[in-house]
Structure 1
Amino acid sequence: MTTMQPIHVIGGGLAGTEAAWQIAQAGIPVILYEMRPQRLSPAHHTEHLAELVCSNSFGAQATDRASGLLHEELRRLGSVVITKADEHAVPAGGALAVDRAVFSHNLTETLASHPLIELRREELRQIPREGLVVLTTGPLTSPDLAEDLQRFTGMNYLSFFDAASPIVVGESINPEIAFRASRYDRGEAAYLNCPMNRDQYLHFWRELCQAEQAELKEFERETAKFFEACLPIEEMARRGEDTMRYGPLKPVGIFDARHGDFRDPANRDKRPYAVVQLRQEDKAGQLWNMVGFQTNLRWGEQTRVFRLIPGLENAEFVRMGVMHRNTFINAPELLHPTLQFKSRSTLLAAGQLVGTEGYTAAAAGGWLAGTNAARVAIGQTPLTLPPTTMMGALFAFISSASPKHFQPMPPNFGILPELPQRIRNKQERYGHYRDRAFADLAAWSYCDRETLQLPA
């Protein structure tokens, strides 16, 4: 029996379940803390580990889709979450969906029966100050632990409400309409601008006012007061025809140099009536954030209405706008791509807490955080994955994005490094991303495979 000190994993969701499993499979004891059923969260209904609180779907199966590529990367790395998802899959067209009750019950039994995993049903109100700790408490972290995390990270590095605008793939924005410019030509032309004439704006405004909203959960309605500080774009539209034109769609000082100098009175009639601005989201300029478009519209409605904006007729969205209760840290300020905290290398985090979105991304974070906690315990160098893989790109992104504008990110092809050649056909392009990811993952040099029991 090993005499090593156990690693503490806090939170029994998908990330915590995966992290605990990887640590135990490396031969290191782990204590997994889950506060349910002692204390239930507003969204959970059972005491099982890895409970799926929203959909039962892990996303598209095809490996030329972002979620499917991530599924397959995790299969090749020995993920217990994806293994069990495959075992308990139910028919869902092209998606990986599971019998959620059987899935979470089986994972609970699997972990509870592992000789190196101790499952403790108790709430931790503070982060353990000593030893190796993996924090995977998710978007509904309990108030006491969230307060302790806030003290540790600093007041400005913890968010409690996720109000995020949609993010668009740059290649899908029409360059014949959108133009680069900064307001009054101040500084670098860092924004893409989609101009509207009066008729286009009024049509967009009417459709936005009538679009269908997603229903907030009861505990989210209680915190809806936060919306006033970050108003949904549809609520802004309902407050008056011109409200958006005095807010995020304000056209003043934005000029399209392709049509002359709009500051010249002779070009007054060419000035846009309203302008939608997009801000660069990543260093490579592949992703663009719709400025001021935080929204609670249903996702299908977002696609329909936002494609009415000139220049975004064929927009490809890698993340839709959201407004919901969430707890997440400012990962670019706080984390290395190994998922270790910069200020404490023995503290790691994973899951939605670090700003990734989706079930599979949570499992991927748990895999990396658990694997690296095990490596630190045995004196090995923590791993980073190739940035050309979906896992590697996701954790590179959350650790290097702009801290000022950081918002949670799901897996998507827009965060991968560009291909050497430009491929216009989207399906073909995604296939090349997949092939490169698999090749680079296969060539990736694991340090001491046998110790971590990684698949050959």
Structure 2
Amino acid sequence: MGQVVTVVGGGLAGSECALQLARRGLGVRLCEQRPAKASPAHHGALLAELVCSNSLKSTKPDSAAGLLKWELGLMGSELLEVARTCAVPAGGALAVDRDRFSAAVTERVESSPLIEVVREEVTSIPEGPCVIAAGPLCSDALFSAIAERVGGERMSFYDAAAPIVDADSLDRSVVFEQSRYGGEGAGDYLNCPMGREEYDAFMEALLSAERVIARDFEQADLFCACQPVEEVARTGHDSLRFGAMKPVGLVDPRTGRRPWAAVQLRAESASRAAYNLVGFQTNLTWPEQRRVFRMIPGLGEAEFLRYGVMHRNSFVDTPHTLDATFAIPGTRARLAGQITGTEGYVEAIASGLLAALNMAAELAGCEPVRLPATGALGSLVAYATDPQTTGYQPMHVNFGLFPPLENPPRNKAERRAALAERGRADLAAYVGSRPDLFAGAAR
């Protein structure tokens, strides 16, 4: 088989990395601890399991998330291709049937003649070339080994997942299909409308409910994009009504008017047999989830297929411990995925692809990958590896990371469109300049 690279972790980053290395003729030993050792958030043994939402966020070309997907398509992402074949209706977002997606990725990895899947826990940094994509739930032993090697202080944050309910248990006389403003993907979401008194009662119950981790969190403990709904509620009585439960663009067919608040449900699979409560990540105990969330109109008899959970995630201080290619200085190991603080499903896939490219370049004696900082992935990497970055916290791709335009339009939509256009042009030029790594990559 020739040169073999060890990849630790069979999540999104590890699976993408393994497939990309195999495409370039390298042997891969992919180590995944499940099912021999379970994690607090995973539910099965399939690779690339989505443990939180089933949404990979926006596909709109002028959004940062949409631009990242375009970039991954240009660079030949394997998992993005799988995700598109497993898509479920989600308006302007890419959401997937999580079971089909994980099964398809697992089949693709296991069918590769260059990838050996080893089901065992890795407790130390492997010898030889390796990519550690163990995720934010990296085992204590391995994370301790990494922390000892990089000499950085251990850092962590709390993450949460939303509950999933059985579609047959919803009250369809109350719940209605509609996307906000009747736009793209109308009917892809279900909506549970609330009146003012219903909202007030719900907020009171939510704030007084029993939590699994019974303490008030410091904001530094919580990753903002996955804060428990009850923690958001603590910031103000109207915080949910202007956030996850905002009713703008919706019309309750029973009244012909906009509701006071609304809970949106997103399909978990193409069959729409199950729905995720959008924005309802939670730390409530399971009995309290049943009691409080069944107060939502239309969910009075809801059957919970999965309760919301909360767990502690870990990541390294990337700007001050890794080099520009996410490698641990002085070793043949590099990190990928959420353990580096690049937060989000698609960002994890992207970092796995990038790790594979840099590993392939290193083994071939080529220049490392230097993505333009004007793009979605390039700007995220620049932020995550800049020693000037202080107070490092997990970060999604966003236009706030992009270098400013020389003559930016005053209109926000036009400005974002210009940023995306510049990013696409610069990345296309870079990919074209590196046939050694990207020949025939686009999918």
TM range (shorter): 0.5 to 0.7
RMSD (CA atoms): 3.6
- The amino acid of 2:372's aligned partner reads P
Give the secondary-structure state (helix, strand or coil) at the position aligned to 1:344: coil
Q: State TM-score, norm by structure 1.
A: 0.66
- The amino acid of 2:119's aligned partner reads R
Distance 2:207 2:372 in 1: 39
Distance 1:387 1:232 in 2: 27
Structural mapping, 1:2-401, within 5 Å: 2-4=1-3, 6-128=4-126, 130-156=127-153, 158-162=154-158, 221=213, 230=218, 296-297=228-229, 305=239, 325-341=312-328, 343-344=329-330, 346-400=332-386
- The amino acid of 1:416's aligned partner reads F
- The amino acid of 1:369's aligned partner reads A
Q: State TM-score, norm by structure 2.
A: 0.68
Q: Which residue of 2 aligns with 1:286?
A: none
Distance 1:232 1:366 in 2: 27
Cα deviation code 1:302-340 (max 9, x no counterpart): 6964999xxxxxxxxxxxx99961110000001223222
Cα deviation code 1:5-60 (max 9, x no counterpart): x1111001100011111111111111111001111101001111100001110001
Q: Which residue of 2 aligns with 1:239?
A: none
Q: Which residue of 1 aligns with 2:402?
A: 416
Distance 1:64 1:452 in 2: 24
- The amino acid of 1:399's aligned partner reads T
Distance 1:212 1:404 in 2: 35
Count residues with an aligned counterpart. Answer: 335
Extract unaligned runs of 5+ from structure 2: 160-202, 243-280, 283-309
- The amino acid of 1:120's aligned partner reads V
Distance 1:366 1:331 in 2: 15
Identity of aligned residues (%): 40
Distance 2:382 2:50 in 1: 26
- The amino acid of 1:393's aligned partner reads S
- The amino acid of 1:386's aligned partner reads P
8 Å contact from structure 1 (residues 10, 33) kept in 2: yes
Distance of aligned partners of 1:403 and 1:414 in 2 relative to their CA distance in 1, 3 Å threshold: closer
Distance 1:295 1:150 in 2: 26
Give the secondary-structure state (helix, strand or coil) at the position aligned to 2:41: coil
Distance 1:325 1:376 in 2: 34
Give the secondary-structure state (helix, strand or coil) at the position aligned to 1:161: strand
Distance 1:445 1:106 in 2: 28
Match of 1:436 among 422, 433, 439: 422
Extract unaligned runs of 5+ from structure 1: 164-208, 235-288, 309-320
Distance 1:25 1:232 in 2: 40
